[in-house]
Chains A and B, each alone.
Chain A
Amino acid sequence: QGRIHQIEYAMEAVKQGSATVGLKSKSHAILVALKRASSELAAHQKKIIPIDDHIGVSIAGLTADARLLSNFMRSECLNSRYAYDSPLPVSRLVSAVGNKSQIPTQRYGRRPFGVGLLVAGYDDQGPHIYQTCPSANYYDCKAMAIGARSQSARTYVEKHLDKFLECSLDELIKHGLRALRETLPQEVELTTKNCSLGIVGKDMEFTIYDDDDVQKYLAMIEGEERSRAAPPADQAAMDTQEGEGQQPADPQPADPAVEEQGMEH
């Protein structure tokens, strides 16, 4: 029927990975990611990878494949700086990734990369968010979320899209964190352990905030109501759709079915 199943299976791997959201304003592009730990004993898997001073990526899917792609991206950026003394434009990097990803979808004995990337970058065309897929397609986005239960984040972001362009950096980060929070199951909260933030902008090199550095931003959205609030443990107003991130009874298509399934991160 004109479907290449291997590619669809690879895209499933991305959908199983934990959620990550990317959004941009006029001056900055940010990534927020939910880190997953394979067990109580293990550390939370890093999701955001710095590529160059002006580009970073967050990953969803097979971490090993992500490592390969990010090493490739790093060397492309280094070569551009060496040869042309100027940072590689984000669009060019993303198309290089697309071209590289296409090869294993057509060559005998190989398999597609089982990872989707959200690329955040700033070049002289401004801030960018790109999404790459195992299918070797890539999309220029105003904002995007990928990974498990990411539809909820996409819905939040679509609702607030018009606000992003003029947002201050802090407001943008709050939107990003709220969007990420939408993807959490009921009793789970964003903490400094499971949340990671990456920011790049006009006068800001790509910087990652992990652990304690995120606390400042989590505090900004602390008291707010979630649309999928916790069960009657602290009773009252559970069903009220107050505050940010309202979602009218939108059925959430595939996501509730996709429960946490260890393997990918």
Chain B
Amino acid sequence: MMDPMLNEESSYAPKQTYFSPYAMNGGTCLAIAGEDFVVVGSDTRLSQGFSIFTRDLPKTYKLTTSTVLGACGFHGDVLTLTKVLNARLKMFEHEHHKKMTTSEIAAMLSTMLYHRRFFPYYVYNLIAGLDEEGKGVVYSFDPVGSYGSDGYRARGSAAAMLQPLLDNQIGLKNQQNVQRVSLSKEKVVNLVKDVFISAAERDIYTGDAVVVHVITKDGTTTERFPLRRD
């Protein structure tokens, strides 16, 4: 936190120090839903201000075999939210004798976030997975639990840069005379790579490496690509 600028006279005035319960730890995550798959990616940089804490911290978390959480913002809240989510997932399994589906997890996350309406989890969440019919689905959240399903969404520090690019390439917005083709896994993974490379160019909080998960009915594969480290 920056101190207020002081001149000679006001060095005798009472100074107010600021304690903020939140910090911005940067990072970007993104998810794209396909016909029978979902691709989730995040960068691996953890930072604060102009410092880098670590270059090796992915912001994606496996919840079940068919659902992945992407979470960026204040990392302290990300960790706690993840712990509580995992505990709640287990409790659900004990009670209902089945694993939670993607839509159930999304609904529960929304209520968990809203319970902290007056001291929010400073986390921008993405839930990506396969729905009950095996189709890919992406849910995106705001810090207090507002959510909805999208075909694709970027969250985090470079979201504003990535989202328009995705709108154009996947949503085919602002393009004339284009055929809608269903995207293959390989095309989507390449698009995610390119998109993160672009983000790392311009956003200082995004870089180091990108971790990409591809979720299909046969499980989840994970790949890692390097990014600019500056």
Residues from chain A with a CB closer than 8 A to the CB of B87 are 78, 81-82
Tell me the bound Cα distance from A60 to B175 in angstroms.
69
How many pairs, one residue from A and one from B, have CB atoms within 8 Å of each other in the complex? 14
Residues from chain A with a CB closer than 8 A to the CB of B84 are 82
Report whether B83 and A82 are in contact in the complex, using a CB–CB cutoff of 8 Å.
yes
Residues from chain B with a CB closer than 8 A to the CB of A78 are 87, 90-91
A70 — nearest CB in chain B belongs to which residue? B94
Report whether A74 and B94 are in contact in the complex, using a CB–CB cutoff of 8 Å.
yes
Residues from chain B with a CB closer than 8 A to the CB of A81 are 86-87
Tell me the bound Cα distance from A82 to B87 in angstroms.
7
Residues from chain B with a CB closer than 8 A to the CB of A52 are 90
B93 — nearest CB in chain A belongs to which residue? A50
Count of A interface residues, CB-CB < 8 Å: 7
Residues from chain A with a CB closer than 8 A to the CB of B86 are 81
Residues from chain A with a CB closer than 8 A to the CB of B83 are 82, 85
Q: How far is the CB of B222 from chain A (nearest CB, A)?
A: 20
Tell me the bound Cα distance from A187 to B209 in angstroms.
67
Residues from chain B with a CB closer than 8 A to the CB of A50 are 94
In chain B between 54 and 93, which residues have their CB closer than 8 angstroms to a CB of chain A? 83-84, 86-87, 90-91
Q: How far is the CB of A245 from chain B (nearest CB, A)?
A: 34
B86 — nearest CB in chain A belongs to which residue? A81
Tell me the bound Cα distance from A85 to B86 in angstroms.
11
Tell me the bound Cα distance from A82 to B91 in angstroms.
13
Q: How far is the CB of B161 from chain A (nearest CB, A)?
A: 34
Q: How far is the CB of A206 from chain B (nearest CB, A)?
A: 12
In chain B between 88 and 133, which residues have their CB closer than 8 angstroms to a CB of chain A? 90-91, 94
In chain A between 36 and 94, which residues have their CB closer than 8 angstroms to a CB of chain B? 50, 52, 74, 78, 81-82, 85
Q: How far is the CB of A51 from chain B (nearest CB, A)?
A: 8
Tell me the bound Cα distance from A81 to B87 in angstroms.
8
Residues from chain A with a CB closer than 8 A to the CB of B91 are 74, 78
Tell me the bound Cα distance from A81 to B83 in angstroms.
8
Residues from chain A with a CB closer than 8 A to the CB of B90 are 52, 74, 78
Residues from chain B with a CB closer than 8 A to the CB of A74 are 90-91, 94
Residues from chain A with a CB closer than 8 A to the CB of B94 are 50, 74
In chain A between 160 and 176, which residues have their CB closer than 8 angstroms to a CB of chain B? none
Q: How far is the CB of B89 from chain A (nearest CB, A)?
A: 10
Q: How far is the CB of A193 from chain B (nearest CB, A)?
A: 18
Q: How far is the CB of B83 from chain A (nearest CB, A)?
A: 5
Tell me the bound Cα distance from A85 to B84 in angstroms.
12
A81 — nearest CB in chain B belongs to which residue? B87
Tell me the bound Cα distance from A50 to B91 in angstroms.
11
Residues of B within 8 A of A (CB): 83-84, 86-87, 90-91, 94
Residues of A within 8 A of B (CB): 50, 52, 74, 78, 81-82, 85
Closest 5 CB pairs of A and B: A78-B87, A82-B83, A82-B87, A74-B94, A78-B90
Q: List 14 A-B contacts (CB under 8 A).
A: A50-B94, A52-B90, A74-B90, A74-B91, A74-B94, A78-B87, A78-B90, A78-B91, A81-B86, A81-B87, A82-B83, A82-B84, A82-B87, A85-B83
Known contacts A50-B94, A74-B94, A81-B86, then 11 further A-B pairs from the complex at CB < 8 Å, ordered by chain A residue: A52-B90, A74-B90, A74-B91, A78-B87, A78-B90, A78-B91, A81-B87, A82-B83, A82-B84, A82-B87, A85-B83
